A and B are shown apart, each in its own frame.
Chain A
Amino acid sequence: MNVQVPVTVLTGFLGAGKTTLLNRILTEEHGRRYAVIINEFGEIGIDNDLVIDADEEVFEMNNGCICCTVRGDLIRILGGLMKRAERFDAIVVETTGIADPAPVAQTFFVDRDVSTRTRLDAIVTVADALNLPAQLAECHEAAEQIAFADVVLLNKIDLVAEDALVAIEARIRAMNPWARIVRTERCQTALETLLGQQAFDLKRILEIEPDFLESDHAHEHDDNVTSVSLHSEVALDQDRFQDWFSALLRDRGQDILRSKGVLSLDGEDERYVIQGVHMLMEGDFIGAWPETAPRESRLVFIGRNLHEMDLQAGFEACRVR
C-alpha cells in the first residue's frame, strides 16, 4: 500500500533554464500534483505550498567513507512532505547551479526513511547549448552534472547552429553514453520525457543501451570525465568479481561517478544487475536471461581518470578460467 513517490533531481548551470522548466511544471495543466523543492527562491513566479525552499545542506556521513555525503535538508523536507495528507504524483528537487549531484543521489542510497517512502526517479540536467563548452572548460561541476545525468535537456537550441549542436551532443555522449539527450527551446518538451523515467530501477537498466559514438568530435576535447564500457562473453567468477568491484569502489570511488552493469555470474541462472553512485552501490538478480539474448556481461563506468584504473585488465581477471 505504500507507493514510493518518485523524485526527479534537476541540475544545470546558472542560466541553463532550470527555473524556466520549473515554472512550466508548476503552471501547466497536466492534472498532476508536483511538489518542487528549490534553492533560489524568488526566481519562481509562484508562491504556494507546493514550492518548498531547500538550504542544500550537504552532510558527511559517519560511516568511514570520505565521499559519502548526503543532503540533510532533503531528508528532512522529504520526511515532512510525506506527512502531508495530500499525496504527490512526483517531487522535483532543484540543485544550485554549481552543485555536485552526488549527495542528492547518495541520500537515496543511504537513508532508509527516504528510500522507503520515495524513490530516485532520474537525474535531469539542463544544459545551455550555447555556453556548455565554456562551462565544461571552466568548471568541473559542469562535467559532473553531465556525467550524472539520465536525461540531458540540451536547451537554448535557438541560439546555436545545427553543426555545433551535433558536436556538443557528441561531446556529451563521450562523457555519458547512457543519457538521453533531448533538444529543447525554453525547455519545451513533454513532461513525460523528463519525469517518470525510473532510471534508478534495476529492471530499467536492462533496457538501456549505452550509446558509444565513435565520433571524432568526442576526441577533440580532452574532457576529464569519460566513460568506459567493458564486455565479456565468458561468465564471471562471483567471488573474484565481488572482490575486484568492491575494492575498486572503495579505492577509486571518488573518481567513479556512476557505474551500471548487467552481469552473467558463473553458476547463476539469473542476470545480476548493479548500479552505483561513487562508492555506494546496489545489485540484485533480476530474472532469467531471455532465450534469445546471449549470456554476456556488460559493465559501464563514468568518471575521472578511468584510464588509471586498469579497468579492462581487472574485469578480465574476473572471468571464469
Chain B
Amino acid sequence: MARFEQTPLEAQAHLLDTGAPVTAVLAEADVLVSAHGDGTLRMFEPGKPDRVIQAHRGAVLALCADRDAGAVLSGGDDGRMVRTTLEGHSDCLASFGRHWVEHVAASRASGWRACSAGRAVHIWRQGVRHADVLEHPSTVGGMALDARGRRVAVAHYGGVTVHERGKRGYRPIKLAFSGSHLGVTFSPDGRFVISSMQENMLRGWRLGDRADLRMAGYPTKVHGLRWVGTLPWLATTGAGFAVCWPFDGRDGPMDRPPRTVAEGRGQIATCVAGVSGADIVFTGFEDGAVLFAELSAGGEDRVVRGSTGVAVSAMGVTPDLRWLLIGDEAGLLCHLPLRAAQGI
C-alpha cells in the first residue's frame, strides 16, 4: 500500500527514466540541472528541449553553480572537475587522476572555485592561475564557501577547519569535535558553521565566540542540509519529517527546539529543497513521496508527489517557485510545474 496517493499535480509532470541514479539537482536561474551516476548532466528549461551532456566518465558526485552565471561546476569519480555551460558545452578544468572529486563550490561574490580530492581542497582564485592547496588530516567529508566567498569550511575526521583568506594566505580556524564530519555549511550571514556527522547529529559553532551547538535526536544520519526562508531555517533530512532549525537572533537554535514539518508516515526524509526567499520546504522520502510544507506555524502538509517505492535522492526548485525537479535513486526524474497547484 502506498503511503501517499498520486496527486493531480503529477498528471502535469514530465517524467524521464534515465536509468542512472540522480546524484544532485540544482537550479541555475530558471534552468534545473540534474547530475547522474552515468556521468551525464541533464538540463530542463521551460519552452526548450531537454539537454543531455556527458560531463564525466563515471558518476557525478558533486554539483554547484559556477562562479559566473550560466554555468555549473561538477566533480566526478573520474577524478575531474568540469565546467558546463547551460548551452551544454563542457570543459575539464582540473584532473586528479585516481582521486574522486567529491565536493565542488564556487562563489559569484569572490570569483573563487574550489574542489576536494582526497585530503586536499584546491582553490582557484579569480585571476590567479595556480590553485591553492589546503591539506587536511583525513579525507574531506564536506566543503562549503561562505556567502562572501572568502572562507572555506572543510569537514573531516575530528572536526571542521575554516580557512580564511587574509593578505598573506590562509588562516586556519580549527573547530574540533571528535568523530567523523561528513558535511558542512555556513549560515547565509556567515556567523555559524554547521556540520553533519557520522553519528546521527549535527554539530555547529558560532564563529564569533566559538560557542558550540549540538543538534541531536535524529534516528539516522543527516545527509541533506538546506538553508530556506527568510529567518533563515536550516532544513535537514534524517528523521521521519523535515527537521528545521531556526537561525534568527544572536543564538540561533541554541536551547531551542527545531520545527518539524512534512510528516512522512513512518519513513525517513532523504532530501530537502527550498529557496531563500520563501518560508517553505519540499521534503522527499524513502518511498519517493514529496511533501510541501509551510514553515509558519499551523501550516498543513500537502502531497506534491505520491509514493513511488524508490527513495528521493536529489531535488531542486527554481527561485521563482514555478518548477520542481525530483530525482530518485533509480534514475527517474520528475519535472513538475508548481504554479498549476493552487497555493504552492
Q: Please list the residues of chain A having a beta carbon within 8 angstroms of any beta carbon in chain B.
A: 1, 41, 47, 49, 52-53, 55, 57, 59-63, 70, 72-73, 75-76, 80, 82-86, 111-113
Contacts and interface: CB of A to CB of B under 8 A. Distances in A.
A80 B99 CA distance: 12
A83 B37 contact: yes
B88 interface: no
A1 B309 contact: yes
Given A49-B58, A53-B98, A72-B157, A83 B198 contact: no
B220 interface: yes
B143 to A, nearest CB: 14
Nearest to B20: A85
B157 A83 contact: no
Contacts, number: 75
State the 10 A-B residue pairs at the shortest beta-carbon distance, nearest first: A85-B20, A85-B38, A85-B37, A62-B179, A83-B59, A83-B37, A84-B59, A59-B180, A84-B37, A62-B199
5 contacts: A1-B310, A55-B139, A57-B157, A59-B157, A85-B19
Contacts of A76: 102, 139, 141
Interface string B93-132: 0000011101000000000000000100000000000000
A49 B138 contact: no
A73 B199 contact: no
Interface string B134-172: 000011010000000000000001000000000000000
B342 interface: no
Nearest to B313: A83
B221 A113 contact: yes
A280 to B, nearest CB: 15
Interface of B: 19-21, 23, 36-38, 57-59, 61, 77-78, 98-100, 102, 118, 138-139, 141, 157, 178-180, 197-199, 220-221, 309-310, 330-331
Contacts of A47: 98
A80 B180 contact: no
B220 A112 contact: yes
Contacts of B78: 49
Contact of B59 (A63, A70, A80): A80
A84 B98 contact: no
Contacts of A83: 21, 23, 37, 59, 61
User: By CB atoms of chain A within 10 A, which of B98, B102, B141, B180 has the most?
Assistant: B180
A8 B149 CA distance: 43
Contacts of A52: 98
Given A1-B330, A85-B20, 15 more contacts: A49-B57, A49-B58, A49-B78, A55-B139, A57-B138, A57-B157, A72-B138, A72-B157, A72-B198, A73-B139, A76-B139, A83-B23, A85-B36, A85-B331, A111-B221
A61 B102 contact: no
Contacts of A86: 38
A211 B156 CA distance: 44
A41 B126 CA distance: 35
A80 B179 contact: no
B193 to A, nearest CB: 19
A50 to B, nearest CB: 10
B198 A75 contact: yes
Contacts of B36: 85
Contacts of A80: 59, 61, 77, 100, 102
A84 B221 contact: no
Contacts of B20: 85
A215 B245 CA distance: 64
A40 to B, nearest CB: 13
Nearest to A82: B21
B199 A85 contact: no
Contacts of B118: 55
Contacts of B38: 84-86
A62 B203 CA distance: 13
A200 B145 CA distance: 43
B118 to A, nearest CB: 7
Nearest to B179: A62
Given A41-B98, A80-B100, A85-B331, A112 B178 contact: no
A173 B269 CA distance: 47
B179 A84 contact: no
Contacts of B21: 82-85
A299 to B, nearest CB: 31
Contacts of A59: 157, 179-180, 198
A214 to B, nearest CB: 45
Contacts of A41: 98
